[in-house]
Amino acid sequence: LPPELFQLSQALINFTVDFLKERDFGVYQVPYMLEEESIAAAVDMETFQDQLYQVNENGRYLIGTAEHALAAKYQGEVIEQDLPLKLGGYSTNFRREAGKHGKQTRGLWRVHQFEKVEQFVFCKPENHLKILEETLENAEDIMQELGLPYRVVDICDGDISNKTFKQYDIEVWRPPLQEYGEVGSYGSCTDYQAREFNTKYWRDGERATPYTVYATGLVPQRIMTAILENNQTEKGIKVPEPLKNYMGGKEYLELE
């Protein structure tokens, strides 16, 4: 990235991390690699494996999202904290993006290496849909604070993975293409991941299986693209108001 876009990317990351901290998320930086068994426990490996870069013959992969590492955090353990337990994850992600092509994939929009801030929640079974709506609301609030036009899509059951009970996507408006593009996914896995990882929590003095919710916080590469496409003025690219303090008060980006 050139200097001004790098600064914008870091501003988006820091803004989102601070936003999640204010909403009681403990934010972690997760490892770049996971064992295959951990990824397979977090996701339907048959549908996701062609997106992953394998590091060696021992079954270690570069991560495609912080979600998988956060889901594995309490593998084989009993969570002692009261639920919901809200975790944030910052990660550099690597995806092969096999089979992806077309105008939605050009430039920064779909790349093999990208950053992301993730939301991930361990919760009680009776609260999982409420938590899902809360994480979606967090993401909508971020979009609104950045002043970006967007819509929420309720994904039909036939288009979601085997691990997911319910999923929403957020799509941002892309003026050059005159269409919306997906910038985040938000779903409940019920007890799928926690069972696979043998993660428990205390309920009425007994061990029980929590539910998990995953949700994008922000992917800076795609949000940068949306800012560049939606905030063009004669003075340059207008910097969204909440990012100015993270960019030394800069109001416009002047890109060659």
CA gyration radius, the chain: 19
Is 60 annotated as catalytic?
no
Helix (H, G, I), strand (E, B) or coil at 1: coil
* Among 9, 38, 91, 110, the one annotated catalytic: 110
* Among 4, 174, 188, 222, the one annotated catalytic: 222
* Among 91, 95, 118, 188, the one annotated catalytic: 95
Residue among 181, 185, 175 nearest 228 (CA):
175
Contact 13, 37 (CB under 8 A): no
Q: How many CB atoms lie within 10 A of CB 199?
A: 24
Cα 63 from Cα 9, distance rounded (Å): 20
Contact 53, 61 (CB under 8 A): yes
Is 222 annotated as catalytic?
yes
Is 185 annotated as catalytic?
yes
Is 22 annotated as catalytic?
no
Amino acid identity at 1: L
Cα 62 from Cα 117, distance rounded (Å): 17
Dihedrals phi, psi of 220, to nearest 5 degrees: -60, -35
Is 23 annotated as catalytic?
no
* Among 38, 185, 188, 229, the one annotated catalytic: 185
* Among 36, 140, 171, 182, the one annotated catalytic: 182
The residues annotated with a catalytic role in the active site are: 95, 110, 182, 185, 222
